[in-house]
Amino acid sequence: MIGSSFFKDNREGLLRAVDENIALVLFAGRADRMSADNDYRFLPDRNFYYLTGISDEDIVLIICKREDRTEISLFVPEKDSLKERWHGKRKTHEEFSEISGIPVEDIFDRETVDDRIFSILQDKSVLIGYDGSSVKTSNKDFVVNTLKSRTSEELIDIQKTLTAMRMIKKPEEVSAIREAIKITEEAVDELKKVLCPGMSELQIFTKLEYEMARRGVLIPAFGTIAAVGENVFYLHHGTPDDVKVKKGDIIQIDLGGRYDGYCADISRVLFVGNSEDEVFEKRKESLLTLIRELRSEAFSYIRPGITLKELNTHMRGICYKWLLKEGLIQMSSKDEGNDDKIVSEYYWHNTSHHMGLDVHDTSVKDSALQAGNCLAVEPGVYVKEWGIGFRIEDDVLVTESGCELLSSGNDDPEVRSCDFT
């Protein structure tokens, strides 16, 4: 879906944004070790991928911008039949060129990169650009080693430039996010076909991950959450246990597929029939009505010019009135109508966050929204004294006049795979 022209455009945008006489060095990184002879599945550094489209490990991108010329070089693992025998086929220079749009003549074997970096560091006419947001060890090592021959003033962090670029999604990125959402919601639909009392959290978790994997998602956007009963009060309940679903249970699921590197983020609450407790059922419906109101308000409120902080304040104001109505809190004499400290006892997390190559995508905190931002919107309220709490989350694109729902917006919690009568 995303072709080499997209990555070429991103490199050109970066070149326009940085000053002349600078050499940018970015690393894909290496797979983290799981044990002495095994690694975890690998995802490249997100900014490296944004500029190259390459998902292979141990690759280096160098971009030199001078007054009279620009050089873009890619350093990739050399072909090695013995290593390929054990670790899989390596791409050719031509294949890397096709993915990235970098000409074959500018692609070199990885073993030559140290000499290239050394020559750049010796050239005092250029500053050294690095990505301060990268969590990859190779990037951190590069900064430490560079400071042995360069001063900190000669190192330029390009993180903010890349963040500003990534916050505004291009059509190709939005299309990839839509595909990731489609995969995610199909996994939820498949779960709802088989979900019944007696099913364990582990089975729910496995079903969701399986349905995403069979659609090509071997590394989900984040750890899938499948929480049953009291476990809904642990927001990142990442390790499923053997708790079994009972009639009347509330189930919180939170998951995200990935497509062409881009993430989805979808949360659904599922009601497995009704309990025999009429008070519990009434409260459950009241909270569902609130969450639906919060969702509707959020989708109407999001537009260019507002901040996510303003969105949170608006949502918490609605929640505050509901808490008063339900008798969960009392208005004090000092209360001006929206005591954030009180509301935060029930409204535990923010309403929205940026999403893209990361599920919590890089962004400038409290900056005004712009057309092209992609957001996950997840109002959630958790009432421990009721034993009820949940969130419903969908993904949106900020447009010139408001926002467009990218996911289905399906907020129907009822599970109809079993006869609960």
DSSP secondary structure, 345-364, as one string: TT--S-SEEE-SSSSS----
pLDDT at 87: 86
pLDDT at 238: 86
Output the CA–CA distances (angstroms, integers) from residue 386 to 239, 280, 381, in the order listed: 24, 7, 11
Residue 36 lies in a domain: yes
Q: Rounded to whole angstroms, how far apart are CA atoms 421 and 419? A: 6
Residue 420 lies in a domain: no
Residue 152 lies in a domain: yes
Residue 417 lies in a domain: no
Residue 42 domain boundaries: 4-167
Q: With the CA atoms of 382, 384, 387 and 392 taken in that order, what torsion angle do they form, in degrees rounded to the nearest 10?
A: 10
Residues 346 and 268 in one domain: yes
Residues written for the chain: 421
Pairing, β 70-76 against β 107-109: parallel
Residues 177 and 150 in one domain: no
Neighbours of 52 (CB within 10 A): 27
Residues 111 and 71 in one domain: yes
Backbone angle region of 331, left / alpha / beta, with phi > 0 → left and psi within -120 to 50 → alpha: beta
Q: Which of 167, 190, 209 is the last residue of a domain?
A: 167
CATH code (residue 196): 3.90.230.10
Q: Which of 167, 202, 233 is the last residue of a domain?
A: 167
CATH code (residue 36): 3.40.350.10
Instruction: Name the phi and psi angles at 118, rounded to 5.
Output: -60, -45
Residue 411 lies in a domain: no
Residue 371 lies in a domain: yes
pLDDT at 181: 98
Residues 158 and 198 in one domain: no
Residue 53 lies in a domain: yes
Smallest Cα–Cα separation from 26: which of 173, 159, 123, 151?
159
Residues 31 and 101 in one domain: yes
Smallest Cα–Cα separation from 23: which of 115, 106, 105, 121?
121
Residues 157 and 175 in one domain: no
Pairing, β 155-157 against β 127-130: parallel
Instruction: Name the phi and psi angles at 252, rounded to 5.
Output: -105, 125
pLDDT per residue, tens digit, the chain (421 aa), is: 799 999 999 999 999 999 999 999 999 999 999 999 899 999 999 999 999 999 999 999 999 999 989 999 999 999 889 988 988 999 999 999 999 999 999 999 999 999 999 999 999 999 999 999 999 999 999 999 999 999 999 999 999 999 999 999 999 999 999 999 999 999 999 999 999 999 999 999 999 999 999 999 999 999 999 999 999 999 999 899 889 999 999 999 999 999 999 999 999 999 999 999 999 999 999 999 999 999 999 999 999 999 999 999 999 999 999 999 999 998 765 555 556 788 999 999 999 999 999 999 999 988 999 999 999 999 999 999 999 999 999 999 999 999 999 999 999 999 888 776 5
Q: Which residues of 324-355 are buried (b: 16+ CB within 10 A; e: fewer)?
A: eeeeebeeeeeeeeebeebbeebbeeebbbbb
pLDDT at 28: 98
Interior CA angle at 265 toward 188 and 237, to 5°? 80
Residues 159 and 177 in one domain: no
Residues 71 and 103 in one domain: yes
Residues 154 and 176 in one domain: no
Q: Rounded to whole angstroms, how far apart are CA atoms 391 and 364? A: 25
Q: Global pTM?
A: 0.95
Q: Rounded to whole angstroms, how far apart are CA atoms 97 and 88? A: 19
Q: Which of 105, 140, 167 is the last residue of a domain?
A: 167
Q: How many distinct structural domains can be found in the chain? A: 2
Q: Rounded to whole angstroms, how far apart are CA atoms 291 and 285? A: 10
pLDDT at 416: 83
Residues 233 and 84 in one domain: no
Q: Rounded to whole angstroms, how far apart are CA atoms 290 and 322? A: 7
Name the one residue in this structure whose structure tokens are 């099913």: 199
Q: Rounded to whole angstroms, how far apart are CA atoms 323 and 346? A: 9
Residues 247 and 137 in one domain: no
Q: Rounded to whole angstroms, how far apart are CA atoms 327 and 132? A: 48
Residues 186 and 306 in one domain: yes
Q: How many CA atoms lie within 13 A of 255 on its CB side?
A: 33
Residue 410 lies in a domain: no
Burial class (CB in 10 A: 0-12, 13-18, 19+), 54: buried
